[in-house]
Structure 1
Amino acid sequence: MSAQGVLAPYRIGELKLSVSFRFLLSLYAIVPLCVLVLWLDRYGFQHALRDMLPSSPSHFLLFQVLFGTPHIIASNLLLFGHSDYVATFKHKLLGMTVFIAVFFGLGSLFIPYRVLYLISAAWTVYHVLKQQHGVAKAVCRLPNWAFYLQLWLSVGAGIFIYMGIFLKNSLTPEQAELVLRIAGVLTAALLLSTLVCQKYVPSRFGVGFLWANTLLVVASWYVYSQQYYFLAILMPRLVHDITAYSFYVSHDVNRHGDRPQTLLFRLAALCRLPVAVVLPLLSFLLTYLLQVYGDDLVNAILQTLFATQVYKAVTLGLIGYLALMHYYTEAFIWAAGSPLRRYIRFSGI
C-alpha cells in the first residue's frame, strides 16, 4: 500500500484531537522544578532527599513502572495492534527483529557486556533527545547544520551523563571525574551553540522551545554533578514519555473515537472506557505485571517443561527487545507519509 493511497481519504479537519505544542513546551516546567527541589534539599534539609532516593532510578520499581517501559509497551501495542501498520512496515519490522536477535542475542556470546550496554545506552539517549529536537524542529525551523549541531551536542552530553549515572559503581574516581568533565564541556558547547543558533529561529515561541531542550540537558548535567542522580534521569524521562503519550492518545482518539476499528477498542467501548485512557492504562498494567511477575512466571514454565531457567527472560529479554524495536520504529512511523501520521494534527503554535 503506497503512502499516497493511505493518506488520500483523510482530511486534517476530520481529526478531533490535536498535539498541542504549547502543552509539549509546558512539560519542561519539570526542569526548574527539579532544580528548585535540589536547592531546597541542599540548603534546607542537608541532602535528606538525596540520601533517601535510590542511587539509580533502575533500583526503584515504581520508577520503572511509571517511566520508560510503559511508553515503550504502548508504542509496540499501537504499532503491532493494527494489521495495516504491520503490513506497511513488515519488512522493516522483520529485518530489525533479525538484527536484534543476531547482534544482541547471539552477539552477547562474543561481544563484552559493557560494549553492548554502552551501545544500548547511546541509542537510548539518542532516541530520547532526537524526539525532543524533532518535535521542536517544526517551531524552531533551524537550518540543517544548526539543527544537527544542537542535536549532536545534546546527545554527546547526554551519553556521558547517562554513563556517569548508570556506570558510576564500576568507574574509578578518576574515570568518574573524567566523564563528568567531558559532559560539562559538551554541555557548555551546547549553551554556546544555542546562543548562536537562536538568531535563526523566526519566533519567540520557537526560541522558547530551543532553550527548553538546551536547559533540559544543562539541568541534567548540573543535577548529576550534584549527585541527585534520580532527578537527573527523571527530567528527560518525564518530558519524553508524556510527549510520546500525547501522540499515542491523539492517534487513538482520532482513529477509534467514533468507530473502534480493533478488538481492543471494541472491548473498551463495551466497558465504556474512554478511548484516550485505553492505551495508557493497558501499558501501565502490562508494565507492572511484566516487571513484577514476568521472570518468575517464565522460569516456572521453563522449569516445569525443560528443567531449566533463563536469566531475566522478560525484564531483560522481552522488554529489551521491545525497547530496541521502539527506538527503531519511532524514527519513521510518525514521519510524513506514514499511515500513522494521517491521524495526527498539531496546534498551539
Structure 2
Amino acid sequence: MSASSVSIHDSLCDQKQAVSFRLLLGLYGIIPICLILQSLDSWFWQDFLKENLPSNPFHFVLFQVLFGTPHIIASNIVLVSNADYLKHFKRHIILMTVAIAFAYILGNILLPYRVLFIVVATWTIHHVLKQQYGVARGLCGLPDWAFKLLLYLSVMAGVAIYVGIFLRNSLETEHVFWVKNAATVGCLMLLVAAVVCQHYVTTSFGRWFYWSNIFLVITSFYLYQQQHYFMAVLVPRFVHDATAYVFYVTHDYNKHHRQPQNFIYRYAARCNLHVFIVLPVISFFLTFLLLAYGDDAVNFITRYLLGVEFYKVITLGFLGYLALMHYFMEGLTWQKDSPYRKFIAFSK
C-alpha cells in the first residue's frame, strides 16, 4: 500500500469499517519491542539472538513467507481479481509490464549487479517509507516541502542501511566504511530536519505519528550498527506490511461484505469464511507455495518439455515482476481519485 496523503475526514456514508489511525500507530510498537530485545540480548543473553538469528533475514524461510512477499501478492490479488479495477488500470498495467521487461533486459546487459541492486533497493525503500509518511501526512499537516525533505532524507539513510546489510559480505572494507558514514550522515540530517519541521505538527496525536516515522529509520540504523541485521530489517518491514494489510482487508470488507463483487469472495461466502481472513489466507498460502515449490515445479515442466532448467523463474522472475508492479501500481491505486478510495474510510 502506498499513499501520498490520507485524511481522517475521508469517509463513506454507508461505510461499515474504517482504517483506525490508533491501530496503525500501534504497529510502531515493534520499535520498542526490538530495542528491548536487543538490550536484553546485549546485557544478559551474551548476544544469543545476534548469533542465532540469520544475518540476512531473507535466508530465513519463515521470514520470507511472513514478510514482504505476502502483501505484494495481496495487493496484486486486489487489483486483478476485481474486473472494474483491472479495466480502470489496464493501460498502466500493460505499459508497466513492458517497461519492467525492457528494464530487466537492458539492466542485466548494461548495468553491474551492484548498480542494479541499488536501483531496486532505492525504489523499495522509497515505496516502504512513502507509504508510512503518506499515511501520517494528513495528521501531521506538513507542507509539501517538509514532507518531501523528510521522506528523501529517510530514503537516503534507508538505502545506505539496506545496502550495508544485504551487500556487506561483498563490499570492500573501504566501501563498508563509506556506506556506514552515509547512513550516519543521513540519519543525523533526518533528525535535524525533523526537529526543524516539527512545529508544523499541531496535535499530540500527529506528533506521535511524526516521530514514529522518524524513529522507524533511526531504530533500523541503530540495530544495523549493533549488527542485529534481522531486527534492523524486521522493524520497517513489519510496520509497512501490517499497515498495508489493514488497508487491504478494510477495503475488501467494505467492497464485498454485503454482496461479493468477485469470484474469490463469492466462493468464500459459500464456505462461510469471514471477509477479514480471506485475503491474508490466500496471499500467505500462495507465498508459501511459490517460495517452496514454484521453481521446482517450473523446472519439472521445462525439463519434460524442453530438456532444460531455468534459474529461479518464480522466486526471482515472477515474484520480482509482481514486486515492481506493486511498487508502481500502489502509487496510483490509493490516490484520491482512484476507485479503491470509494471503499476506504478513516477514523481516529
Check whether TM > 0.5.
Answer: yes
- Pairing of 1:2-151 with structure 2 (within 5 A): 12-151=12-151
Q: CA shift at 1:173, angstroms? A: 2.0
Asked if structure 2 preserves the Cα contact closer than 8 Å seen for 1:74 and 1:280, the reply is: yes
Query: TM-score under structure 2 normalisation?
Result: 0.96
Give structure 2 stretches of 5+ with no counterpart.
1-10
- Pairing of 1:295-334 with structure 2 (within 5 A): 295-334=295-334
In structure 2, relative to structure 1, the CA distance for the partners of 1:156 and 1:248 (3 Å cut) is same
Query: TM-score under structure 1 normalisation?
Result: 0.95
Q: CA shift at 1:106, angstroms? A: 4.7
Distance 1:75 1:113 in 2: 28
Deviations, residues 45-94 of structure 1 (Å, cap 9, x unaligned): 11111000011011000000000000000000000111111111111110
Asked if structure 2 preserves the Cα contact closer than 8 Å seen for 1:294 and 1:315, the reply is: yes
Aligned CA RMSD, in angstroms, stands at: 0.9
Q: Secondary structure at the match of 2:332?
A: coil
Deviations, residues 144-181 of structure 1 (Å, cap 9, x unaligned): 11111110010000000000000000012221122111
Corresponding residue of 1:6: none
Deviations, residues 96-149 of structure 1 (Å, cap 9, x unaligned): 000001111353233322222111111100000000000010100101111111
Distance 1:47 1:212 in 2: 27
* Count of residues in correspondence between the two structures: 338
Q: Which moved more, 1:100-109 or 1:337-346?
A: 100-109
Give structure 1 stretches of 5+ with no counterpart.
1-10
Deviations, residues 282-310 of structure 1 (Å, cap 9, x unaligned): 00000000000000000100110011111
Q: CA shift at 1:32, angstroms? A: 1.2
Distance 1:242 1:236 in 2: 10
Distance 1:156 1:88 in 2: 34
Q: Secondary structure at the match of 2:260?
A: coil
Q: Secondary structure at the match of 2:164?
A: helix
Distance 1:288 1:106 in 2: 31
Corresponding residue of 1:207: 207
Aligned-residue sequence identity (percent) comes to 52
Corresponding residue of 2:4: none
In structure 2, relative to structure 1, the CA distance for the partners of 1:337 and 1:194 (3 Å cut) is same
Distance 1:185 1:111 in 2: 27
Q: Secondary structure at the match of 2:46?
A: coil
Q: Secondary structure at the match of 1:332?
A: helix
Corresponding residue of 1:273: 273
Q: Secondary structure at the match of 1:14?
A: coil
